[in-house]
């Protein structure tokens, strides 16, 4: 087997990838706000509600749930490729340094968990280690790995064998954090999150097929980097047009079949359906970015937001939980879904303004700068 070697092509900054990353973080903030940062309790009679709350919940779940994290995962794999390829071009091995970088990300994830029990940075750090051995494989081998993970092998096994993730375990874990969310001080909330938050994330991802799908998207992002598909070159836009058409066809068929409400097949098919919604968003965004100047100029602010994705992910945990948790403004007991969505919009606007202002005077966001410096610290 011939191991993969760099093609020696320059990896310039990809504006559309930064903008997509900004879109993903904005979507994550909006959906977390709707979910009251995992503190939503349907049994509470919220003081401020609207008649469209249930409709809003369904629409946002269809558009945002899983798709924004999926884009985030795809671009995580792309970022790994760019860093790894740049080091290969300089004759350096990036494997050990990337493992250290993932350790740092795991530590950042633990800090983030103290604020928000739905942290994914720790999980990404664990998944990210898989990219080290896989990065040596030839491209055609990686496509087979992507195909295997894409079909959701754990969910197929579940359908065949009848094995199911015990949902009661997830309910029990969330129940252990309930008091801190609803009645606790910051320290009580942080203690519950640190003790049970990552366990809850593990069970939830297992139930929703996110473990295999996230790794699949990591590898796919690495392949997109190898193929240079985010650059406007080599007729790449023709490829994205094909992806867009296929995605639309699958979404139409899935909508007619009502994949979201197939009780028996839902756990298997819905993550795949989610993937095609994600593909529709990414391909449409790339085509509009390169094809329509008004689109590129109108959403250029997302580039700066995306460049500071780690910082903004942290800020949404700190600000969002401060707004919704009992120890803060306790909006979890006051706002229905639609009003919570408006709070999310306000958070995105404020953080966008902060990002654009910060990057006028600095080359990296606060957390990005720290992470970069620690990544390249000399041992």
Work out the mean pLDDT of the chain and round it to a whole number.
94
Under a CB-based contact definition with an 8 Å cutoff, are residues 77 and 219 in contact? yes
Q: Residue 378's pLDDT is what? A: 87
Task: Kindly tell me if the per-residue pLDDT of 264 is higher than 70.
Answer: no
Task: Kindly tell me if the per-residue pLDDT of 292 is higher than 90.
Answer: yes
Q: What share of the chain is helix, strand, coil (3-state, %, to 5)?
A: 75, 0, 25
pLDDT in tens, 91-113: 999 999 999 999 999 999 999 99
Torsion angles phi and psi, residue 234, rounded to 5: 50, 40
Spatial distance between the Cα atoms of 54 and 336, rounded to a whole number of angstroms: 10
Q: Which two tokens stand for residue 115?
A: 């604020």
Q: Which two tokens stand for residue 59?
A: 């629409």
Q: How many other C-beta atoms lie within 10 A of the C-beta of residue 135? A: 22
Could you tell me the sign of the dihedral formed by the alpha carbons of 328, 329, 335, 339, in that order? negative
3-state secondary structure of 2: coil
pLDDT in tens, 196-236: 999 999 999 988 889 999 999 999 999 999 999 999 998 99
Predicted model pTM: 0.95
The four Cα atoms 363, 366, 371, 374 give a dihedral, to 10 degrees, of: 90
Considering only 268-277, 280-289, 322-331, which range has the smallest mean pLDDT?
268-277
Confidence of residue 41 (pLDDT cuts 50, 70, 90): confident
Burial readout 77-115 (b: 16 or more C-beta within 10 A, e: otherwise): bbbbbbbbbebbeeeeebbebbeebbebbbebbbbbbbb
Spatial distance between the Cα atoms of 11 and 180, rounded to a whole number of angstroms: 46
Q: Which of 231, 300, 227 is nearest to 12 (CA)?
A: 231
User: Distance of CA 137 to CAs 7, 141, 145, 215, 230, Å?
Assistant: 14, 6, 10, 15, 21
Under a CB-based contact definition with an 8 Å cutoff, are residues 29 and 344 in contact? yes
Q: Which residues lie below 8 Å from residue 4, measured CB to CB, with a gap of 6+?
A: 135, 136, 137, 138, 139, 226
Task: Kindly tell me if the per-residue pLDDT of 45 is higher than 90.
Answer: no
Looking at the DSSP bridge assignments, the partners of residue 48 are 335
Q: How many other C-beta atoms lie within 10 A of the C-beta of residue 2? A: 6
Q: Which of 378, 356, 265, 321 is nearest to 22 (CA)?
A: 356
Greater pLDDT, 265 or 45: 45
Under a CB-based contact definition with an 8 Å cutoff, are residues 327 and 315 in contact? no
Cα first-last separation, the chain: 33
């Amino acid at each position: 087997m011939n191991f993969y070697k760099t093609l020696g092509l320059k990896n310039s900054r990809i504006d559309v990838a930064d903008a997509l990353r900004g879109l993903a973080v904005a979507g994550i903030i909006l959906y977390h706000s709707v979910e009251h940062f995992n503190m939503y309790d349907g049994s509470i009679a919220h003081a401020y509600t609207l008649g469209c709350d249930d409709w809003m919940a369904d629409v946002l779940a269809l558009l945002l749930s899983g798709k924004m994290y999926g884009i985030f995962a795809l671009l995580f794999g792309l970022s790994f490729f760019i860093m790894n390829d740049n080091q290969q071009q300089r004759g350096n091995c990036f494997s050990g340094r990337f493992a250290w970088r993932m350790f740092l990300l795991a530590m950042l994830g633990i800090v983030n968990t103290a604020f928000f029990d739905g942290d994914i940075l720790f999980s990404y750090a664990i998944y990210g280690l898989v990219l080290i051995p896989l990065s040596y494989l030839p491209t055609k081998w990686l496509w087979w790995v992507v195909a295997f993970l894409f079909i959701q092998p754990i969910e197929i096994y579940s359908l065949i064998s009848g094995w199911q993730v015990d949902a009661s375990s997830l309910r029990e874990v969330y129940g252990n954090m309930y008091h801190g969310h609803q009645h606790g001080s910051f320290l009580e909330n942080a203690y519950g999150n640190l003790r049970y938050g990552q366990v809850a994330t593990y069970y939830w991802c297992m139930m929703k097929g996110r473990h295999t799908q996230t790794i699949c998207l990591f590898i796919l992002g690495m392949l997109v980097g190898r193929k240079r598909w985010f650059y406007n070159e080599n007729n790449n836009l023709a490829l994205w047009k094909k992806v867009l058409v296929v995605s639309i066809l699958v979404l139409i068929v899935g909508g007619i079949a009502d994949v979201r409400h197939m009780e028996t097949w839902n756990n298997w098919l819905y993550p795949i359906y989610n993937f095609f919604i994600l593909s529709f968003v990414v391909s449409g965004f790339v085509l509009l970015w390169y094809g329509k100047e008004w689109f590129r100029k109108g959403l250029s602010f997302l580039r700066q937001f995306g460049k500071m994705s780690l910082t903004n992910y942290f800020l949404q945990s700190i600000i969002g939980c401060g707004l919704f948790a009992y120890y803060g403004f306790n909006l979890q007991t006051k706002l229905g879904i639609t009003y919570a969505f408006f709070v999310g919009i306000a958070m995105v606007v404020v953080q966008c303004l902060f990002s654009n202002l910060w990057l006028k005077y600095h080359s990296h966001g606060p957390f990005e700068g720290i992470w970069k410096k620690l990544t390249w610290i000399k041992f």
